Copies of this chain bind each other. A is one copy, B any other.
Amino acid sequence: MSPDVDAILYRLAGMFNERSGFGVTDDTFHALSMLHRLGEPTWFALGDMDIGLHLLRSRLVHSGMRLTEAVADIAHRLAIDAAVLPMSDEPVRTRVLTDDGDLAMQRWFVEQKCAPPVRSLRYEGIEAAQPAPEVVQAVHDADAVVIGPSNPVLSIDPILTLLAPHLDRRRVIVVSPIVGGRSLKGPTVEMLRDLGEEPTTTGVAKHYARIARTVVIDPVDSATQA
């Protein structure tokens, strides 16, 4: 599973489930209902159409494709023109060390609904991972690299751990995920606070200071401009 890469594929193909925030719109959950009957945990609501895509990707990767190639193949099959590039061909799994133990990221996020306070994050496999050649080439060729308003520690930092050496700070633009002290989506404010960072637009700017020269903020935060 690569829920974030898939979210981008589904969005670009016009199939993204906006309401749930992942997977395919109007998906059904009959494979999951069978797994439930078989006594399996079903806290991760993987839809049937979503499983169809996972089955193809597994087959492509098992047949010898790198993940980057498999994602490009799937994007092509969905008539997506944009280049969708995972950060690496090697698996990297985010672990969340919480007051309730060391949890897989999706287990903390989905099953535990982000409730257990976060002590630290760990990216399992990151030491062995390399950015794929395609993604290194893409950031070298880019006029600008825009970092979306996503969770800086949960979603962006693992990518930066691999890609920071290849980024030209002058061409990197961050869109702040915090507006007026609240996160646009998800538990960004709570996580930054738990991890001892400043959960504000200023905190975001500090977090990315070594990576990006430009931070896009909302007019309501204009007083925080340096």
Q: Which residues of A contact B (CB under 8 A)?
A: 24, 27-28, 30-35, 37-40, 47-53, 55-56, 74, 77-78
Contacts and interface: CB of A to CB of B under 8 A. Distances in A.
A62 to B, nearest CB: 11
A183 to B, nearest CB: 32
Report which residue of A27, A48, A56, A77 has the largest number of chain B beta carbons within 10 angstroms of its beta carbon: A48
Given A28-B28, A30-B27, A31-B31, A52 B38 contact: yes
A6 to B, nearest CB: 11
A28 B31 CA distance: 9
A9 B53 CA distance: 27
Given A40-B56, A56-B38, A49 B77 contact: no
A24 B52 CA distance: 18
Main secondary structure of the interface of A (DSSP, over half): helix
A33 to B, nearest CB: 7
Contacts of A49: 30-31, 33-34
A39 B24 CA distance: 17
A40 B37 CA distance: 29
Nearest to A56: B38
B33 A30 contact: no
B31 A77 contact: no
B35 A55 contact: yes
Contact of A51 (B37, B40, B51, B56): B51
A28 B52 CA distance: 12
